């Protein structure tokens, strides 16, 4: 007998904003604006799906290497999102979390992030985790340092280190591993996203560019996921 998989956590690499804009003869930043609008739409549509965690890759550590103009525009959009979204988040009972290297972000943005996290901490419908200035290898390095310090301080024995010790030292310590990882825009790579957490995640790649990614397509993916056989190495 086969039972359907249940999906608790969906992670998305929201890729293709630049190409979406180029196809329309518009600047890349226009694509980012449309992409940000789609974040709001897709988050809203999660309510009916039974999914409890949504983790969105919004800006990678490596994205800091883009042109100053593009980085500035993305930070501006982020600022607007942080200013506007409190009501939407509270109305929809969404808890918001941010993962990534906060030190790289401006103090003003960091303050707004902390404010949204605090205000929404008791919300229960959906946890929206936004990966911002996030790189999985950097996250793992930070975790290794944290664990090494505990060992150096005599709080932890090397022999006590388990996979749980590592999981608990990551930014994602409070959320379960993703069941589904979706990448839009046709690229078939993970680009430094959730490397540890995605050990047994089911991957879905779609050619749809992020601003066009719809609730309907998300539902199709969740449906297809239900029928995948997750073996976890067993026979
Ligand atoms: C994803 O879209 C958004 C970010 C990485 C910030 P891109 O900006 O990577 O768009 P493409 O991949 O160039 O089309
Ligand atoms: C990954 O997309 C990061 C985000 C979507 C935020 P990129 O566009 O930066 O990835 P690469 O450069 O194609 O691998
Ligand atoms: Mg891209």
Q: Whose CA is nearest to atom 12 of ligand 1?
A: 16
Q: How far is CA 116 from CA 46, 69, 135, in A?
A: 19, 26, 22
Neighbours of 198 (CB within 10 A): 17
Q: Atom 6, ligand 1: which residue's CA is nearest?
A: 59
Q: Measured between alpha carbons, how far is residue 209 from residues 15, 56, 139, 140 in Å?
A: 7, 15, 27, 29
User: For the chain, first and last CA: distance in Å?
Assistant: 15
Residue 48 scores a pLDDT above 80: no
The structure's pTM equals: 0.97
Which is nearest to 53 in space by CA: 138, 176, 135? 176
What average pLDDT does range 107-119 have in this prediction?
Answer: 98
- What per-residue confidence (pLDDT) applies to 122? 98
**Domains along the chain with CATH numbers:** 9-135+176-226 (3.40.1180.10)
What does the pLDDT read at residue 15? 98
pLDDT in tens, 133-188: 999 999 999 999 999 999 999 999 999 999 999 999 999 999 999 999 999 999 99
Q: Is the CB of 15 under 6 A from ligand 2?
A: yes
On whether the CB atoms of residues 99 and 142 are closer than 8 A, the answer is no
Residue 47 pLDDT: 77
Q: Render pLDDT for 196-228 as a digit per residue (tens, 0 to 9).
A: 999 999 999 999 999 999 999 999 999 999 999
Say if residue 1's pLDDT is above 60. no
Residues with CB under 6 A from ligand 1: 14-19, 59, 63, 74, 185
Three-class SS of residue 122?
coil
């Amino acid at each position: 007998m086969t039972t359907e998989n249940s999906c608790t956590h969906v992670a998305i690499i929201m890729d293709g904003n630049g190409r979406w804009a180029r196809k329309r003869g518009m600047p890349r930043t226009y694509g980012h604006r449309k992409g940000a609008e789609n974040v709001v739409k897709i988050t809203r549509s999660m309510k009916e799906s039974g999914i409890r965690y949504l983790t969105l890759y919004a800006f990678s550590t490596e994205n800091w290497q883009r042109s100053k103009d593009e980085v500035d525009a993305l930070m501006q959009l982020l600022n607007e999102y942080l200013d506007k979204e409190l009501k939407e988040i509270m109305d929809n009972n969404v808890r918001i979390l941010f993962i990534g290297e906060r030190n790289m972000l401006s103090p003003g943005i960091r303050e707004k992030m902390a404010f949204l996290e605090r205000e929404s901490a008791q919300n229960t419908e959906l946890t929206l985790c936004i990966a911002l200035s996030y790189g999985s290898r950097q996250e793992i390095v930070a975790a290794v340092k944290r664990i090494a310090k505990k060992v150096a301080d005599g709080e932890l024995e090397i022999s006590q280190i388990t996979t749980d010790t590592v999981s608990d030292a990551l930014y994602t310590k409070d959320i379960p591993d993703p069941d589904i990882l979706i990448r839009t825009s046709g690229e078939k790579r993970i680009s430094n996203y959730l490397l540890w957490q995605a050990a047994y995640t089911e991957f879905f790649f779609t050619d749809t560019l992020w601003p066009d990614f719809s609730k309907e397509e998300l539902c199709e993916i969740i449906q297809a996921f239900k029928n995948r056989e997750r073996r976890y190495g067993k026979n």
